[in-house]
Structure 1
Amino acid sequence: MAFFDDFKEKAADLAQVGMAKSKQLAEIARLNLVNAGEEDTIRKAYQELGRIYYAERGNAPEPAYSALCEKITAARITIEENKERIAQLRAEGTTEGAGQEETAAPSQADGVDPEVPPEDETF
C-alpha cells in the first residue's frame, strides 16, 4: 500500500506544480497583452506628437527634424498631384462614357483608405 500512497503523493505534487506553472504562464500572457496595449498608446502619442510638430514647425523645422519634414511635405505634394491626375482621368472617362455615372465609393486604389478618417487639412 505504501507504493500507492507514494504514487498518489507524487501525482498530487506534480498536479500542483502544473497548476502553478499554468498560473504563471497565464500571468505572463496577461502582462504581454497589457504591454502591447501600452506600446500602442505610445505609438499613437508619437504620431500625434509628430502631427503637432509638423503643423507648428513644418515650414521651419529644427535641423534634426528637417529631413523628416521634407519627406512629409514631398509626400503630401505627390498625393495632391496624384489626386489631381485621378480627377482628370475620371473627368476624361466621364466624357467618353457619355451619361455613365460613377457611383463607386473611394477605395485604396484611389489612394484613399475607407477605414481611415481624412486628416485635418491644417497641417
Structure 2
Amino acid sequence: MSFFEKLTSAGRDMAKKTKELADITKLNMQISSEEDKIKNNYIEIGKLYYELFSSNPDEKFAEFCSAITESRNKIEALKDQILEIKCVKKCCHCGAEITKSAVFCSACGKKVENDENITSANTEASGETDKNTEFSQNDKNFEAVENNNLSENTNEPQKAESTPRMCPSCNNAVPSDAKFCNNCGIKLE
C-alpha cells in the first residue's frame, strides 16, 4: 500500500469511529431520557400511594409512609419557626404572610383570627408579659433608627418604598404593596 492509500484508509476508519461514537452518544441520551421518565413515574406512583393509603398503608409500605409523615411534620414545625423569627403569621384564607397583629389580611382583605389576642389575654390573666413581643418591638425600633442613620450618612434620600402608606379609612400605616388594610380591611387603591 502506498502512503496515500494508508492515509485514506485511516481517514475512513476515523470517520466511521466518529459516526459510531456520535450514534452511541445519541442512544445513551435516549436511554437516560427514558430512565428519567421511569424515575418520575415511580415518584408519582409513590406520591399517589401515600395520598391514598398513608392512613392505612400495607405493612411493606408502613415504614416509608411514617417516615414521610414525620418529615412533613418536621417541615411544618420549621416553617412555623421561620414565621416566629419573621414576626408574621399566615393568613388562614389565602396563605399570605401578614403581621401578627393584623385584623384583616393585606392580600385578600378577609378577617383573620388573631392568635396574639388569645395569647395576650391568657398572659394578662396570669400577670406575665410577652418578652418576645417586647424584643421584637425593640428590634423594629432599632432597625428604624439604623435605617435613618444610614440614609443620613450616605446623604441619600430614603426610598419611597420604605415609607409605608396610610389607610384612608383608619389612618393605619400599611405596606406599600398591600391590597387591603390589615387593620380595617378596606380595599386600597
For the aligned residue pairs, the C-alpha RMSD in angstroms reads: 2.3
- Structure 1 residue aligned with 2:66, among 48, 55, 70? 70
The 4+ residue runs of structure 1 with deviation greater than 6 A are none
1:19 partner letter: A
| Pair 1:97-2:165 in alignment | no
Structure with more helix by fraction: 1
Structure 2: segments with no counterpart, 5+ residues: 88-131, 145-161, 163-174, 176-189
In the aligned structure 2, how far is the partner of 1:9 from the partner of 1:90?
78
Q: Does 1:87 align with 2:64?
A: no
| Structure 1 residue 88 displacement after superposition | 1.3
TM-score by length of 1: 0.71
Equivalent position of 1:17 in the other structure: 13
Structure possessing the higher relative contact order (Cα contacts under 8 Å, 6 or more residues apart): 1
The percentage of aligned residue pairs carrying the same residue is 29
Can you give the 5+ residue segments of structure 1 that lack an aligned partner in the other structure? Answer: 104-123
**CA distances 1:56-91 after superposition (whole Å, capped 9, x unpaired):** 001111011111101100000001111111111211
* Larger Rg computed on CA atoms: 2
TM-score, normalised to structure 2's length?
A: 0.47
The answer for the alignment partner of 1:55 in structure 2 is: 51
TM-fit CA distance, 1:94: 5.4
Q: Distance in 1 between matches of 2:36 and 2:70?
A: 27
Secondary structure class of the residue paired with 2:45: helix
Equivalent residue, structure 2, for 1:8: 4
Matched residues, number: 98
Structure having the higher strand fraction is 2
The one-character-per-residue Cα deviations of 1:13-66 (angstroms, maximum 9, x if unpaired) are: 111111110000000111111111111111111111111000000111101111
